[in-house]
Structure 1
Amino acid sequence: MTTPTPAQRTVNLAITGASGAQYALRLLQCLVAAGCRVHVMVSRAAQVVIATETDLKLPGSPPAMQECLTEYSGAQPGQVLVFGREDWFAPPASGSGEKAPLVICPCSTGTLSALATGASNNLIERAGDVALKERRQLILVPREAPYSEVHLENMLRLTRMGAVVMPASPGFYHKPRSIEDLVDFVVARLLDHLDLPQDLMPRWGEARIDAKQPR
């Protein structure tokens, strides 16, 4: 079986109500630029956070939201698909749907709790449940501080189930000069885990290798 090219790949992206909407929006732009088709799910709380933390105001209906995010990300028609919160016929809602990774970015602690306990009260929770039961790639990006014992226990449970918990904790060794640089640090790590090409920043050690190359 051949490995799908980025242009053939689908990535499921869920955006929940934790702070850090910039990470999700930047990731969407990068996924689109990589040629991926992106299935987007947005919680009600995420709409509030996006409106609070950015200049983007998402409309309420999935078709209007899809048009807005398509324009925002520079996607081709049909490249970004938005599914409603109770759209149980959406591909991410079933193990019989397309096998695709799911990134929940940012991931609220409420969503962490729902996934750790098997709740499926909306499409995002159901998509996470499907990813876990089907052993598909599931990346969770919590953005909270400090973490309570409940949060940590839920992250441990999900890690043991196979999820990757990647807190939105940007590094500083790349000498960031802007908020965008800090956002790109986290997004670059997400793209690396999705095995997608990225030039947001060099991987650790690449600069040293480049310096040793003959001129």
Structure 2
Amino acid sequence: MVSASPSQPPPRRLIVAITGATGVVYGVRLLQLLRELPGIESHLMISDAGVLNLHQELEMRRKQVEALADVVHSVRDVGASIASGSFQSDGMIVAPCSMKTLASVAHGLSDNLIARAADVVLKERRRLVLMVRETPFNLAHLRNMTSVTEMGGIIFPPLPGFYHRPQSIAEMVDHTLGRVLDLFAIEHTLTPRWSGLKAE
């Protein structure tokens, strides 16, 4: 856990959740990036389906990913610190966000700690970013995304950009996560800034 000394400000806290959609690389890489940045304390939750995808897509175990976070919470612990509005944070990123988690947030179900923490972030008017992963979207998906947007959340499908001419999947992932970090005003050098179209 990141701690503050009398001469240093308290750490910025970011809540990260990994759920059962494809694209767990976004959540893992995000944790790696946050670990490298000074003054940021990460709080992690991984759903059971998220654990399955870690093994399927990255051949990683839960413990390997949990080791990247400053604080780890069980999704079943609805009494955790992050379940209360009195817990100070800059916000929450769900990377990736399954349609089940999206629906839970959109309808305020708070049926596990991920959905409850997202509900808290929304009610406290903090930043919630859902990196939703599904295609194509059906009407329920679209309506749930609209509901979350109307509540102040940000729907952020991890769609790769190509104008920076990525040479690898890793570059595409970093470019997307750079945009996510921008939403929290976190400085980074993950990708070059857009400077306009090049002349012929």
Normalising by structure 2, what TM-score? 0.89
Indicate whether 1:32 and 2:28 are aligned. no
- Residue 3 of structure 2 is matched in structure 1 by none
How high is the sequence identity, in percent, across the aligned residues? 40
Q: For 2:125 and 2:80, how far apart are their aligned partners in 1?
A: 19
Indicate whether 1:107 and 2:103 are aligned. no
Q: Any gaps of 5 or more consecutive residues in structure 2? A: 1-7
Q: Displacement, 1:194? A: 1.3
Q: Any gaps of 5 or more consecutive residues in structure 1? A: 59-64, 74-78, 209-215
- Residue 11 of structure 1 is matched in structure 2 by 14
Q: Structure 1 pair 39/146, CA: closer, same or farther in 2 (3 Å)?
A: same
Q: For 1:109 and 1:6, how far apart are their aligned partners in 2?
A: 37
Alignment match of 1:165 (pick from 155, 163, 171): 155
- Residue 95 of structure 1 is matched in structure 2 by 85
1:122-169 CA deviation, whole Å, 9 max, x = no partner? 100100111111111101101111011110111011111100111010
Q: For 2:16 and 2:9, how far apart are their aligned partners in 1?
A: 15
The number of equivalent residue pairs is: 190
- Residue 127 of structure 1 is matched in structure 2 by 117
Q: Structure 1 pair 6/156, CA: closer, same or farther in 2 (3 Å)?
A: farther
Over aligned residue pairs, what C-alpha RMSD do you find?
Answer: 2.0
Contact 2:15–2:89, Cα closer than 8 Å, also in 1: no
Q: For 2:46 and 2:169, how far apart are their aligned partners in 1?
A: 23
Give the letter for the 1:119 counterpart: L
Q: For 2:159 and 2:180, how far apart are their aligned partners in 1?
A: 12
1:160-205 CA deviation, whole Å, 9 max, x = no partner? 1100111010101111111111111111111111111111101222
Q: Displacement, 1:44? A: 0.3
Alignment match of 1:182 (pick from 162, 172, 186): 172
Q: Structure 1 pair 83/189, CA: closer, same or farther in 2 (3 Å)?
A: same
- Residue 155 of structure 1 is matched in structure 2 by 145
Q: Secondary structure at the match of 2:100?
A: helix
Indicate whether 1:54 and 2:76 are aligned. no
Normalising by structure 1, what TM-score? 0.83
Q: For 1:129 and 1:105, how far apart are their aligned partners in 2?
A: 16
Identify, as 1 or 2, the structure richer in helix: 1
Contact 1:6–1:34, Cα closer than 8 Å, also in 2: no
Contact 2:129–2:153, Cα closer than 8 Å, also in 1: yes
Q: Structure 1 pair 169/205, CA: closer, same or farther in 2 (3 Å)?
A: same
Q: Displacement, 1:89? A: 3.0
Contact 1:107–1:142, Cα closer than 8 Å, also in 2: yes
